Amino acid sequence: MTSTRSARAAATRQRILDAAHELFVSQGYRATSLRDIAAAASVSHPGLLGHFASKDDLLAEVVAQFEQDNADVFTVVVAAAEPGALMFSELAARNATTPGYLELFAALTGEASAPGHPSHERMRERYADMRALTIDALQDAVDHGVIAPDRDVEAETTRAIAGWDGLQLMAQYLPDRVDVVDMLEERESLWATPVGWRDPGEQETSAESAGPLPELVIGGPDDHDDESGYAAGRRRRSQILADAMQLFARRGYGDTSLRDIAQAVGVSKSTLLHHYPTKEALLGAVLTERDKAIRVQGETADARRAADLLRGMPSGAVHNAVDEPGLIEVYAVLSCEAVPASHPAHTYFQNRFARSMEYFTEVFRLAQLDGDLPAHRDPEREAVWLIALWDGLQYQWLYDRNAVDVAAQLRAHLEDVLPRR
């Protein structure tokens, strides 16, 4: 009798975990309630609480199962690999066959960057473990002549993990345009060449720019500046946006209510609704405000050539980290929280990634015409990797702000991609 009850309890527990797994992937962690999970698992809410005391406990168990599966895969791949072989693309291919793995970890990477998130420490430890394993793998590849000896193993490790994270997120929004495995395979092949390598026989750098530089339009088509109304109303809206941005960065959109924001601003909920009639309208305004701040910074650049524009971009990363860390925080949390198609910001980030790809592809194309981007590098793929790398470096910085210099890593990458003659 006791064994029967234990088996029944174990089956119920697993059913709850399966339901949580599916809902965390399809709806996102923040948008899923315990009652949603209980209903999907066909148990009562009190019955669920008899197995898991909180949603945080459920998330920890779901993530632990994924991590154990990933560790098993890693062991198999390493055992079968040749000495010095690079396994990033193969591991990514295997991860892609695990239902829900990419979706959940793409979302958690940014969501858990907020220190109060239940998986923050787990993800921070995960980065430390990945870093140690990757350094060993890359050093082994250098020792066996697979990677060029002049490459900085620790720096390449930071950028490899960052690019991988960024690619996984981009692939959730643009699955037909971003192939994680293919991009990692190409990156592995490029490591075989010395830093800044180019064919000595290719064209010299042109003295004249190939053409006018394109303008980056960051936000979606509904962006607008609201300068209407009295000065007091504009100040109130600015305060609402600033406080909402802080709360979204700390708790995410799903776990922040309009009442929370009104309380932070020091106004009634009805006053808040006077300025922003829905939570979705407020979210759109927050995203517009962030992009406006990024755009203003971008307007300070005075580059005449595409390569100079690209090389100058890391200075924006310095400004963001020192003066506007909230811009990084809210982007990291919301871009990952909005992975499920049902999220109100999903289309916004989908459009944002698409526009950024088009912009950077054109900039890299012009750099190639100028002779600054070597012929063996593809402008579109360089655009994808740069966006992914920048996002991934920012995620790492949010988990350990003393260990990751985003600007320095971007500069090193661009010096490799755009070697000076």
Write the CA distances from 251 to 244, 256, 319, 335, integer angstroms: 10, 6, 24, 13
Q: Which two tokens stand for residue 388?
A: 């992914």
pTM across the whole model = 0.86
Question: Which DSSP state fits 210?
Answer: S
Q: How far apart are CA 229 and CA 400, in angstroms?
A: 42
Residues 37 and 20 sit within 8 Å (Cβ to Cβ): yes
Four-point Cα dihedral 54, 59, 60, 64, nearest 10: 150
Residues near 390 by beta carbon (within 8 Å), at least 6 away in sequence: 166, 317, 406, 410
Residues 363 and 214 sit within 8 Å (Cβ to Cβ): yes
pLDDT tens digit sequence for 267-284:
888 888 888 888 888 888
Can you tell me which residue has the tokens 């991609």? 417
Residues 366 and 306 sit within 8 Å (Cβ to Cβ): yes
What are the pLDDT tens digits along the chain (421 aa)? 567 778 888 899 999 999 998 888 888 787 788 999 999 999 999 999 999 988 888 888 888 887 777 777 777 776 777 888 888 888 888 888 777 788 888 888 888 888 888 888 888 888 888 899 889 989 999 999 999 999 999 999 999 999 999 999 999 999 999 999 999 999 999 999 999 998 887 777 766 776 778 876 655 444 444 555 566 677 888 888 888 888 888 777 877 888 998 898 888 888 888 888 888 888 888 888 887 776 545 544 567 889 999 998 888 777 666 666 777 888 888 898 888 888 899 999 999 999 999 999 999 999 999 999 999 999 999 999 999 999 999 999 999 888 899 999 999 999 999 998 7
